[in-house]
Amino acid sequence: MLLSACAAAGVGTGLVGKRFQSLALAKHTIPISDLGNRDVFTSCGMCVNKCGVIARVRNGVIEKLDPNPHFLKSRGMLCARGNAGIDAVYSPDRLKHPMIRTGKRGEGKFRRATWDEALDLVVKNLSNLADKYTRAGTVFVSTEGFQEHFFTTFAECYGSPNTLRHPSLCLASNIQGFGATYGTNPTPDVLNADYIIMSGANRSEALVTPDSIDMLTGDGGRRKLVYLDPRFTKTAAKADEWFPIRPGTDMAFILAMINVVVKENLYNHKVVEKQTVGFDKLVPHIETYTPEWAATKCEIPAADIRRIAREFAMAAPKAVYYQGRRSSFFDNDTQMRRAMAILNAVVGNWDTKGGMVPNSRIPLQGHEYVAPYYEDVPDRLENGTASYLSEKDGSWKYFRDRVLEGKPYPVKGMMVYKQNPLVSVANRGKTLKMMEQMEFICTIDITMNDTAYYSDVILPEATYLEREDPIESLGGILPMVVWREPVIKPMYESRSNLWIIQQLAKRMGDEIYASFNFTMKEYREHQTKNNPEILKVLKEKGVYYEKETPTYGTTLGKKLRTRSGKIEIYSEKYAKKGLDPLPVYNDPTNGSTGQYRLILGRNAYMTHGTTANNAYLSELMPENHIWLHSSEAKKKGFRDGQMVKVKSPIATEMLRLQVTEKIRPDCVYLSHGFGVLSRGQSRIFGKGGSDAALIEDKVEPISGNMAMHQTFVDITSI
């Protein structure tokens, strides 16, 4: 049979061809480092949790990332992103060499440059900018990481007061609200709490160790999880009760809870008397904030509010109102967090098992450096905007506005480390304008993300699996010390941030270089000078603990870091600043009819805007969709899966519709990190829509935190 014979002959050659094809695709043809076969203790860098990892290297290739069983905070686990970290190293899209822009900004045209050329160019520009605009004329943008410190220290040595970090996009309001009450932002002891109320903290998707794990332990019965969220998230599926709370009304719920707890005499008298000030002022203040009143605001039945308040108080002190992390929702977030803190305080859960526990930290010797003195350098650009502006973190909203205004002084230089403002800051249009007016932009990163794409010089950092990082002391209720060891040698021409900063410093002069003139080994020995045991344990176990269970009650009987030394239910300091000393409820703004509030959130397999292009993770979520409630879709005649136009006051994005019952009918939701501008992110370019483009930059004025749930959109067919 002719056909059979052909088939026979061809199959043979086909088989051989396929073998070669698959070998070529395997990682084994990528340049192999010579670290042979080993298992390396290191810390994951795919998100903020820094879980302990044991990296398995075989034949110089990272084969698998396994969890470090010694790492208590992660309870010995590694999530989807942690496992996918391999692609951060081997992705063909990662930055390989220093690049210098050749085309127009945003065209994506770059040429490869040597390190020397690129570094020289950076320093030349920094010097020029210093001359033209003073040292404050360059902003240093970064986000947390084990090597971020070198970047911000460099900024200090350079002489710029303008370091801009992520807290004003994230948890600044939380820090402020809880800090004003307790003097610190405590951690809820989820493992031992019997009653947990989470509002807006989607712990089953926005993974924070160990809370995401601990909230589910506790063999049914005693533990109860109440969850408030406009969306039926995975946390809602795990919670005992879920309420689709009306966005922006959490404060009403909390105040009503306080009302019940106070009026029904369920508060902890002893704690209130001994540990707090201002309770007497609280009582008349919450008089009108009844559950019946709150029910009209937050759309949770009054009977439920009352019941939950009672259950909460009964379970106290092993009850927490979980404040979560991100607090970039509304322009009243700080005051709302204040209300949360007050509620926690009056049920007496401060610094006790199952309650709100202040963080502690294992001390390390700090980096000893001397920043030169510069004359005539003005203060932070956005001084005087937020009531309590962090000197180190700043406020993106106010800073960017002032840069665009050019007042009180121009900022024309931008150095970026590990941060991607074009994706992570609301109102992408404004960020683009801000960057456009910069005379020089340099980004240090590992991928060609949007911000790198719009830069003038790009410097490739080695990924977390290739770096030897400083020892890091992670604070919390269970403090620990971690590190990073290189799993393989840095690929291509990537280098650690320390090396980059050292090279820049060298070119800026001996005075500055002196602050960075050490090897990482020397630095680590310096850090652990007072406790060399740390290094030893890190080598054996990958993580260092001094205790395996939290310590409670360390602050009891002592003064807190507040003006009164006690828990401040009534905030004198706010009163003096002309702010509400006790939280006052205001209704959130409404959109026009037919509009939807755009809300944001997380997935367990994406980290903010950074991992969408990861080969393993993008398979799980190739693009983002916009969620719309089925009743609304029916009304407007939309079908599941169709493309729609999403129009906000500042931008329009095209997105695919996902019709679902898992969201309030007056809200829409989309995942973060898509709709990118960079062609260098080959898996996701052209897919999905950008939330950063759509969201307006409203702000919470006390902390300067961005308020990102106050944008209303219209949805129409294309």
Partner 1 sequence: MKKKRFAMVLDTRKCIDCKACTIACKTENHIPLIEDNYRNWVMEEPLRGKYPRLGQSFTPGQCMQCSNPPCERVCPTSATYVNGDGVVLVDDKKCIGCKYCITACPYDARFYNEEIGAVDKCTFCIQRIYKGRLPACVETCPTKVRVFGDLNDPDSDVSRLLRKYPHRVKKPEIGTQPSLFYLM
Partner 2 sequence: MTAITKNFRNIIGFSLLGAGMLIGLIAVGYVLMVGHSHAYNLTREIPWGILISTYVFFAVSCSGLCLVSSLGHVFGVQEFEVIGKRAILVAILTLLTGFGVIAMELNHPFRMAIWVILSPNLSSAIWWMGTLYGLYLVLLCIELYAFMTEKHRLASMVGLIGFMVAISACSNLGAVFGLLDARPFWHGAYLPIFFILSAFVSGSALLALIIYFNHSLRGMEMPPQYKNLMITLGRLQALFLGILIFFVVWRTIPGLYAKHTGIYEATTATVSGNLSTNFWFFKVLIGLAIPFFLLVNRSTRTPFGVMSAGLLTTVGIFFMRYDMVIAGQIVPMRPLHQNAATDILHYIPSAAEMGIVIGSVCACLFFYVLIERRFDLNPIEHK
Which residues contact partner 1 (rule: CB under 8 A)? 15, 18, 22, 25-26, 63-67, 74-84, 86, 204-205, 207, 209, 212-213, 216, 220, 232, 234-238, 242-244, 604-605, 615-617, 619-620, 629, 661-662
Which secondary structure element, helix H or strand E, spans residue 510, and what is its range? helix 510-513
Contact segment (CB under 8 A) with partner 2 among 10-18, 122-130, 435-443, 488-496 equals: 10-18
Closer residue to partner 1, CB minimum distance, 237 or 303: 237
- What's the rounded Cα separation, in Å, for the pair 407 and 426? 21
Instruction: For the CB of residue 641, give the shortest distance to partner 2 in the complex, in Å.
Output: 11
Sequence letter at residue 23: L
Report d(CA 449, CA 103) in Å as an integer. Answer: 17
Choose from partner 1, partner 2, none: what does 8 bind? Cβ within 5-8 Å by kind.
partner 2
* CA gap 108, 106 in Å, rounded: 5
d(CA 242, CA 230): 9
Task: Choose among partner 1, partner 2, none what residue 397 binds, the Cβ cut-off being 5 to 8 Å by kind.
Answer: none
Positions of E strands within 9-124? 38-43, 52-58, 61-67, 99-101, 110-112
Shortest Å distance, C-beta 40 to partner 1: 16
Q: Which does 592 bind (CB under 5 to 8 A by kind): partner 2, partner 1, none?
A: none
Q: Using the rule CB under 8 A, is 20 a contact of partner 2?
A: no
590-649 residues near partner 2, rule: CB under 8 A: 640
Task: Return the closest-CA partner of residue 610 out of 52, 81, 51, 66.
Answer: 81
Q: Which residues of 608-622 are buried (b: 16+ CB within 10 A; e: fewer)?
A: bbbbbbbeebbeebe
What is the smallest separation between the CB atom of 658 and partner 2, expressed in angstroms?
Answer: 10
| CB 194, CB 314: distance < 8 Å | no
Rounded to 10 degrees, the C-alpha dihedral 445/446/448/452 comes to 0
Of 390 and 658, which has the nearer Cβ to partner 2? Answer: 658
Q: Considering the rule CB under 8 A, would residue 25 count as an interface residue with partner 2?
A: no
- 64 interacts with, out of partner 2, partner 1, none, CB within 5 to 8 A per kind: partner 1
In whole angstroms, the minimum distance from the beta carbon of 654 to partner 2 comes to: 23
Shortest distance, CB of residue 76 to partner 1, whole angstroms?
8
Q: How far is the CB of 693 from partner 1 (least distance, A)?
A: 27
Contact yes or no for 12/50 (Cβ under 8 A): no
Q: How far is the CB of 12 from partner 2 (least distance, A)?
A: 7
Compare residues 73 and 430 and give the one whose CB is closer to partner 1: 73
What does 65 bind: partner 1, partner 2, none (CB cut-off 5 to 8 Å by kind)?
A: partner 1
Q: How far is the CB of 67 from partner 1 (least distance, A)?
A: 6
By CB under 8 A, is residue 26 in contact with partner 2?
A: no
Say which entry of partner 1, partner 2, none residue 556 contacts (CB below 5 to 8 A, set by partner kind): none
Q: Which is nearer to partner 2, 18 or 576 (CB)?
A: 18
Q: Considering CB distances under 5 to 8 angstroms, the limit depending on partner class, which of partner 2, partner 1, none binds residue 80? A: partner 1
Is 17 a residue that touches partner 2 (CB under 8 A)? yes
CB under 5 to 8 A by kind: which of partner 2, partner 1, none does 232 bind? partner 1
Under the binding rule (CB under 8 A), the answer on residue 303 touching partner 2 is no
What residue 7 binds from partner 1, partner 2, none (CB within 5 to 8 A, per partner kind)?
Answer: partner 2
In the list 4, 265, 592, 593, the residue contacting partner 2 (rule: CB under 8 A) is 4
Helix or strand run (H / E) with residue 633: helix 630-636
Strands 457-460 and 440-445: parallel
Return the amino acid letter for 390: S
Using the minimum distance from each CB to partner 2, give the nearer residue, 16 or 370.
Answer: 16
- From the list partner 2, partner 1, none, pick the one residue 640 interacts with, judged by a Cβ distance below 5 to 8 Å according to partner type: partner 2
Of 242 and 499, nearer to partner 2 (C-beta) is: 242
Taking the least distance from each CB to partner 2, the nearer of 7 and 370 is 7
C-alpha 342: how far from chain center: 25
Neighbour-count burial for 317-337, b at 16+ CB within 10 Å, e otherwise? bbbbbbbbbbbbbbbbbbbbb
How many CA atoms are closer than 13 Å to the CA of 499, on its beta-carbon side?
14
For the record, the structure tokens of 476 come out as 């919390």
Tokens of 86: 């391999």
For residue 13, the minimal CB distance to partner 2 (Å) is: 7
CB of 8 to partner 2, least distance (A): 7
CB atoms within 10 A of CB 536: 12
Under the criterion CB under 8 A, does residue 18 sit at the interface with partner 2? yes
User: Measured from the CB of residue 625, what is the shortest distance to partner 2 in angstroms?
Assistant: 13
In the bound complex, what is the minimum distance in angstroms from residue 152's beta carbon to partner 1?
A: 32
User: Between 77 and 514, whose beta carbon lies closer to partner 1?
Assistant: 77
Beta bridge mates, 390: none
CB of 214 to partner 1, least distance (A): 9
- Residue 13 engages partner 2 in binding (rule: CB under 8 A): yes
User: At closest approach, how far in Å is the CB of 217 from partner 1?
Assistant: 8
Choose from partner 1, partner 2, none: what does 629 bind? Cβ within 5-8 Å by kind.
partner 1
* Pick 74 or 349: Cβ nearer partner 1: 74
Burial of residue 496 (CB within 10 Å: 0-12, 13-18, 19+) is buried
Least distance to partner 2 from the beta carbon of 635, Å? 19
Q: Which does 2 bind (CB under 5 to 8 A by kind): partner 2, partner 1, none?
A: partner 2
Alpha helix segments (H runs only) across 26-171? 80-83, 85-90, 115-133, 148-158
**Cα distance between residue 472 and residue 479, in whole Å:** 11
**DSSP string of 169-233, one letter each residue:** GTTHHHHHHHHHHHSS--EE-GGG-SEEEEES--TTTS--TTHHHHTT-S-TTS-EEEEE-SB--
Q: Which stretch binds partner 2 (CB under 8 A): 17-25, 264-272, 370-378, 560-568?
A: 17-25
Q: Which of residues 416-455 bind partner 2 (CB under 8 A)?
A: none
38: left (phi over 0), alpha (psi -120 to 50) or beta: beta
525: left (phi over 0), alpha (psi -120 to 50) or beta: alpha
- Is 23 one of the binding residues for partner 2 (CB under 8 A)? no
Closest CA to 695 of 451, 389, 424, 405: 424
Q: Does 24 bind partner 2 (CB under 8 A)?
A: no
Q: Which does 330 bind (CB under 5 to 8 A by kind): partner 1, partner 2, none?
A: none
Per CB under 8 A, which region of 9-17, 296-304, 376-384, 522-530 contacts partner 2? 9-17
Q: Nearest 5 degrees, angle CA 708-CA 710-CA 716?
A: 105
> Cα(425)–Cα(445) distance, rounded to whole angstroms?
17
The closest alpha carbon to 631, from 664, 593, 600, belongs to 664
Q: Name which of 103 and 641 has its Cβ closer to partner 2.
A: 641
Is 10 a binding residue for partner 2 by CB under 8 A? The answer is: yes
Picked from partner 1, partner 2, none, the partner binding residue 12 (CB below 5 to 8 A depending on kind) is partner 2
Q: Which of 82, 89, 86, 83 is nearest to 50 (CA)?
A: 82
CA gap 439, 410 in Å, rounded? 11
| Contact criterion met (CB below 8 Å) for 489 and 153 | no
Judged by CB under 8 A, does residue 509 bind partner 2? no
Catalog residues that contact partner 2 under the rule CB under 8 A: 1-4, 6-8, 10-15, 17-18, 21, 640
